[in-house]
Amino acid sequence: MTDEAQTKNPPKRSRTVARVAAVQALFQCEQGGENAETVINQFQRHRLGSTQEESFDEGHAPDADFRLFGLIVKGTTLAQDRIDEALIGALPESWPLSRLDPVLRALLRAGVWELGEDVPARVVINEYLDVAHGFFSGDEARLVNGVLDALGKKRETGTAGADAS
């Protein structure tokens, strides 16, 4: 595949890596009180596109789809109030948004934002389930599946409207 073709249609893995990095960036925005642009710039300079020798476990995200990463981080932060409303309505009472692990909160916000985009719900759910399994080993992945599935169904039936976008 040519460089130009890879830029237009990056490999699927690069989109998954972008989603993982976006969750990390959203976490950093919330925990550090930094704005999205600052965090995006930091990630692009220091973590994204690193050499293959630098592993994702060391905080590097080689092969990430830069465009998707930026869209998720910017879009999620800009729509956070609407996203949080949708999440509050979809979360079980035993898992209130304010008490969720901050990484789980970032992951759900990113997933809900993507549900508001032109991405099939099943793709969003599968991708964020994979991301959840990378961060958590407990019931969090089931929660991600249930919440994104419920909000995806609302989107498909038109009852969610533009709640999360």
Q: Which residues contact 78 (CB under 8 A, 6 or more apart)?
A: 36
The CB density around residue 24, as the number of other CB atoms within 10 Å, is 23
**Among residues 28, 52, 78, which one ends one of the domains?**
78
The number of distinct structural domains making up the chain is: 2
Output the pLDDT for position 147. 97
Over residues 76-90, the pLDDT tens digits come to: 999 999 999 999 999
Looking at the structure, do residues 107 and 72 belong to the same domain, yes or no? no
Query: Can you name the residues that pair with 61 across neighbouring β-strands?
Result: 48
Looking at the structure, do residues 37 and 96 belong to the same domain, yes or no? no
Looking at the structure, do residues 152 and 91 belong to the same domain, yes or no? yes
**Cα atoms in the Cβ-side hemisphere of radius 13 Å centred on 68:** 26
Output the pLDDT for position 156. 78
Looking at the structure, do residues 2 and 74 belong to the same domain, yes or no? yes
**Among residues 51, 78, 105, which one ends one of the domains?**
78
In the numeric block, which tokens belong to residue 47?
């973590």
Residue 12 has pLDDT above 90, yes or no: no
Distance CA 142, CA 35 (A): 30
Q: Decide if 148 is inside a domain.
A: yes
Position with higher pLDDT, 139 vs 160: 139
Q: Does the predicted model carry a pTM greater than 0.75?
A: yes
Looking at the structure, do residues 61 and 107 belong to the same domain, yes or no? no
**Among residues 25, 43, 78, which one ends one of the domains?**
78
Q: Decide if 142 is inside a domain.
A: yes
Looking at the structure, do residues 51 and 104 belong to the same domain, yes or no? no
Q: Which residues contact 26 (CB under 8 A, 6 or more apart)?
A: 72, 73, 76, 77, 106, 109, 110
Q: Decide if 126 is inside a domain.
A: yes
In the chain, the largest separation of any two C-alpha atoms, in whole Å, equals 50
Looking at the structure, do residues 29 and 42 belong to the same domain, yes or no? yes
Q: Decide if 162 is inside a domain.
A: no
Output the pLDDT for position 157. 77
Residue 147: give the domain boundaries. 79-157
Q: Decide if 165 is inside a domain.
A: no
